[in-house]
Structures are given as structure tokens and as C-alpha cells.
Structure 1
Amino acid sequence: MTAAPPSQLLKAILCLTCSALLFSIMGVCIRYASGSVDNFTIVFFRNVVGLFLFMPFILTKGIQHFKTEKLWMHTWRAIIGSIAMYGFFYAIAHLKLSNAMVFTYSAPIFIPLIAWLFLKEQVTASMIVAASIGFLGVLCVAKPDAGLFDLMSFVGLTASFMAALAFVTVRALTQTEPPERIVFYFCLIGTIISIIPMFWLWRPYTWTELTYLVVAGILANVSQIFLSYAYKLAPAGQIGPVNYIAIIFAGIWGYLFWNELPDFYSLIGLSLIFCAIVLCSPMLQKRLNRN
């Protein structure tokens, strides 16, 4: 897979930025909901809300629009995506929001390698440099210490790797599948997967809890649509580091809602993350391709 044209790459970056923004706001809702709602129920609501959102699409476009010959790929994507979701939501409930985002959005460090192995996409030096700089920024924001090398570290990094696999699978699916169909099957299969553990923990929920759960589900699914469009426009390895901007958004929400202030190392990390995003910019990619 060759690099995307500059104009198409810009659209992909904008879509991925919108996806990251919505996903970070979803994290705020999950943080509030996790104070009283278990992780299994949160994952279930995230998926089942998506199914309800797709009812208008099914009614207007018809069931024929959602027929697919890639059911096995949709299933694979839903399984690894659900594993990543369980890990990510668990991290949100037990860590600062920005640190939870760090774990999830370190996924781009794996994306170029996975995209090269499974999709045979071209991996350029600029992609590797961007991913490496972004990951270094992640470490600065997270301030690696004993807290990053325990069970939470394992959960977070596993979720990160699974998210990277999911992103690359989305890229493969976009070759033949429209974004709406990709998100629909993720919600459908994800609901089937998540209803099993949630069933044993079901209880009546307050209106406040339901509000957080429903809004989180809406934001997550709209974010997924933007994500699918982004990977339809450009190769996964080329735009993956843009995901790091979600950490910046999370830092803003952390300050506004929980008075979390970035320290010196966090500011350095955010600067490195910004540099990684700049390396993905259309003008720079065009100049590098010319050279």
C-alpha cells in the first residue's frame, strides 16, 4: 500500500483527530460511571447503544446494505477490540484519565509493524521515527516507575497491542466494507460477547448512571465511524501516531474535572507527541517523499 496523497492524508488526520477528541470525552463519562458501575456492564452498554444508533441506518438503507462476505474479519476485529476495551475501561477506572489514555494510545507504536506484516503496507523511515518519538512522549507523560510495571502495566499494554491489531484490521476491512458496516458488526458481535459476563452482574441503574453509560456509548460509536473513515483514507502506519493527540485532550479534561496539572516531564512528553503528529502532516510527508 502506497502513501496517501497529501489532500487525502489531511482528511484522514482530521477524521482521526475528531475520533480522538470524542474518545477522550467518552473517557470522562466512563470515569464518572466507573465509580459505581462494574467494568463488564460499561462495555456492554458501549456496544448495545451502538446497535440502537444503527437502527435508523438499517431502516433507511435496508438490511442488504449490512450484508457482508467478511464476517470472519468482523468477528476477529470484535474479539480483539473487546479485549482492548475491557482493558482500557479498567485502566480508566483505576488510573488518572491521562495515564489511561497513554496506555491505550501507545498502540501506534505497534501499528507500522503490524500493518507491514499483515497488510504489506510500506513502512518508511518517517513513520518509524514518528512512532518512536510519539512513544517516547508517552513515556514522559506516564513517567515510568514501578507503577507502570505491575498488573496494571500488563493490562494496559495488552489493551494497547490489541487496539493496534484492531486498527490494522479496520484498515483491511475498509478495502471492501463501508465504515457504517464495520462499526455495526463491531457493536453487534461486541454486544453478544459482553452480554455473557454482564448478565450475572445486572441490577437496576440510576438515571445518572444510565446517562453516563448512554452518552459514552454514543461518543464511542461516533468516534469509531470517524476512525473507520480515517483508515479508509490513509494507511494505518502513516496516520497511526495522530492517535497520540487523545492524550492531550485527556490532559485537558483531567485538569478541568479533576484538577490534574501536567508537570515538567508531562509538558516535554506532550511536545514530543506534537512533533510525532507534525511528522504525519501532508506537507512534510510530501517533502519526504520527494527526497
Structure 2
Amino acid sequence: MVELVRQDNPRQGAMLLALSALLFAIMGVLIREVSMGVNNETVVFFRNLVGVFFFLPMMLIKGLAPFRTQCLRSHFLRTFYGLGAMYCFFYAIAHLPLADAMVFTYAAPVFTPLIAWWWLRESLNTRILGVVLLGFIGVLLVAKPSGALFEPKALAGIAASLLAASAFVAIRAMSNTEPASRIVFYFATFSTLLSAIPMLWAWQPLNTQQLGLLLAVGLVATTSQLVMSRAYALAPPGKIGPLSYLAIVFSALFGWYLWGEMPGWSSWAGAGLIFAASLLSISAAPSRTKSG
């Protein structure tokens, strides 16, 4: 097995993760639109199916060599966490206000450093925990969570946070041998196969607009996954994870532009905390990490 050097470039990783957050926010808008007439199982299936087709040109040009791996078990584990998070996240978007759903999903960085410490033995200190807490407070201020947070449906959002955090750490665990494109390829392939099973009883007819939105969801989501996988390969989750909170800022802007949801003072204050936490996360992180 060819082993790649595990990189530690927090600035470049932070920039890529910010781009990934923007793409995830766009994906959330698309999912909210298409979920008005399409069930959750269909949305998840098409999101993954488009991801597989995304790699066809590469396969035709380079063959299967770039996708050969000796880490099938690790890829399946990453798929298990990621696909579970996807079902929960899409369900939350369809049944909760968009801001509430985004709060749950992008609360994943709150859990990521702890999971990375337990799983990979990544270094963890009180400063990192403090920065993560600061970012989470900012998320709450931006989203202005409603009473939906206390409804049973909110459990899907909480599950999305935990599963997404585990998926992020799984990506980091494979980054010493698996490039980002291979990680996303196996995630798309395994997720398509698994999400095809519910389609046996959940399939529904689709019109042209719905099909177009589903294709757009898949394209944006796959691109975001590629960018995110590369970001976590460049730096430990504990260093750059808080940048995922930027998706809340982007979602607030989209909400204002598309649906007239004007952010209040708490949103702007929260945005300031999120940006502060994002910048502080790089300086607060320890210079060396342990891996195991």
C-alpha cells in the first residue's frame, strides 16, 4: 500500500472548507425546494446517483486504477456515517425551518474534535474546546432557533450532527492512504447502492422541474464533498472544523434574498462570533498532532 504523508496545512484547508460550506448552503436551498413535492428517499438516492456519474469521465480516461484501494472496510464505515447523516439532514430540511436544520447539521464541528481525539488520538486542548463553543454560540445567534428545537423531529437533526462528525473523522483517518477523489467515489458508489434499496417501495413519478432540481442537488453536493474531503486531508478536524459554521451565514443570506428572511441583530452578532471562531481555530490548534 502506498502511504501518503498526512498533511498539516490549516490555512489552505480552511479556505477549502469555507468553499465547501458555501456549496452545502446552496445544496440546502435546492433540497428545500425539491422536498416540497419529492420524498426524502428519492432525494437521497438521486443525490448519490449523480455522484457516481460525476466520476464517469475520469473512469473512461484513466480506467479503474485511480480507484483501487485496500481500505474497503474504512470506506464502508465512512459511508455508513455519511449516508445516515444525509438521511437525517435531508429529513430535517424538509420538516424544519431551514435555519434550524442547518444549526443541527453544522453543529458537527462541536463533536468533531472530541471524536477525532477518541478515534485518531488527535491533540485536544481547552483552547480548541473554547473556540468550538464560541462558534456554536454564534450558530445559535444566527439561526435564532425556534421551538422546533424541542420537538421530536429535531432528533433527526441531532443525529445528523453526530453522524456527520463521525464521517469527517473517518475521512481524516483515511487521508494518509486515500486521496479525496477516491474517498468521494466510494462514498457515492456505496451510498447509491444502499439508498437504492428504499426506492423499491418509495419510488414516485417526477416532472421535469423536480428532475432538474434533483440533478442540481447531486452535482452541488458531490462537488462540495470533493472540496470537503480535500480540506480534511490537509488539516486535522479540530483545527478547521469551526469553519463549517459559515454555512449558517450563507444560509441566512440565501434566506434573506430568496424568501425575505431579514436577519436581526442576533444574526449579525452570531456571524461575528462565527468568523472569530473560524480565525481563532487555526491559532488555537496545537502545532503537532498524534495519530493512531
Fold shared, TM-score > 0.5 on shorter chain:
yes
Q: Does 1:152 align with 2:161?
A: no
CA distance in 1 between counterparts of 2:152 and 2:268 reads: 27
1:205 alignment partner in structure 2: 206
Q: Does 1:101 align with 2:102?
A: yes
1:132 alignment partner in structure 2: 133
2:13 alignment partner in structure 1: 12
Contact 2:7 2:233 in 1 (8 A): no
One-letter code of the match for 2:176?
Q
Distance 1:145 1:26, change over 3 A: closer
CA distance in 2 between counterparts of 1:135 and 1:194 reads: 31
Deviations 1:57-107 (A, max 9, x none): 112221122111111111111111111111111111122222211110000
**Segments of 4+ moved more than 6 angstroms:** none
1:45 alignment partner in structure 2: 46
RMSD: 1.9
One-letter code of the match for 2:273?
L
Contact 1:97 1:251 in 2 (8 A): no
TM-score of the superposed pair, with normalisation by structure 2: 0.92
Contact 2:128 2:284 in 1 (8 A): no
CA distance in 1 between counterparts of 2:208 and 2:77 reads: 34
2:290 alignment partner in structure 1: none
Q: Does 1:61 align with 2:62?
A: yes
Structure 1 residue 4, shift from structure 2 partner:
6.7
Structure 1 residue 26, shift from structure 2 partner:
0.9
2:90 alignment partner in structure 1: 89
One-letter code of the match for 2:142?
V
CA distance in 2 between counterparts of 1:149 and 1:175 reads: 40
1:224 alignment partner in structure 2: 225
Structure 1 residue 253, shift from structure 2 partner:
0.6
Distance 1:145 1:259, change over 3 A: closer
CA distance in 2 between counterparts of 1:33 and 1:145 reads: 23
1:241 alignment partner in structure 2: 242
Contact 1:23 1:223 in 2 (8 A): yes
DSSP 3-state at the match of 1:123 = coil
Q: Percent identity?
A: 47
DSSP 3-state at the match of 2:153 = helix
Q: Does 1:172 align with 2:161?
A: no
1:250 alignment partner in structure 2: 251
Structure 1 residue 203, shift from structure 2 partner:
2.6
1:29 alignment partner in structure 2: 30
Q: Please, which runs of 5 or more residues in structure 2 have no aligned partner?
A: 1-5, 288-292
Q: Between 120-129 and 84-93, report the one with greater CA deviation.
A: 120-129
One-letter code of the match for 2:106?
Y
1:196 alignment partner in structure 2: 197
Q: Between 137-146 and 93-102, report the one with greater CA deviation.
A: 137-146
Structure 1 residue 145, shift from structure 2 partner:
5.4
Structure 1 residue 285, shift from structure 2 partner:
4.9
Contact 1:130 1:279 in 2 (8 A): yes
DSSP 3-state at the match of 1:172 = helix
Contact 2:104 2:157 in 1 (8 A): yes
CA distance in 2 between counterparts of 1:151 and 1:78 reads: 26
CA distance in 1 between counterparts of 2:194 and 2:116 reads: 26
Deviations 1:246-268 (A, max 9, x none): 10001111111111111232222
DSSP 3-state at the match of 2:263 = coil
Structure 1 residue 274, shift from structure 2 partner:
1.5
CA distance in 2 between counterparts of 1:17 and 1:144 reads: 23
Deviations 1:20-48 (A, max 9, x none): 11111111111110010000000000000
Deviations 1:160-218 (A, max 9, x none): 00000000001111111011110011011101111111221223211110111001100
TM-score of the superposed pair, with normalisation by structure 1: 0.92
CA distance in 2 between counterparts of 1:214 and 1:54 reads: 15
Q: Between 256-265 and 173-182, report the one with greater CA deviation.
A: 256-265
DSSP 3-state at the match of 2:69 = coil
Q: Between 137-146 and 110-119, report the one with greater CA deviation.
A: 137-146
Number of aligned residue pairs = 283
1:143 alignment partner in structure 2: 144
2:270 alignment partner in structure 1: 269
Contact 1:126 1:279 in 2 (8 A): no
DSSP 3-state at the match of 2:203 = coil
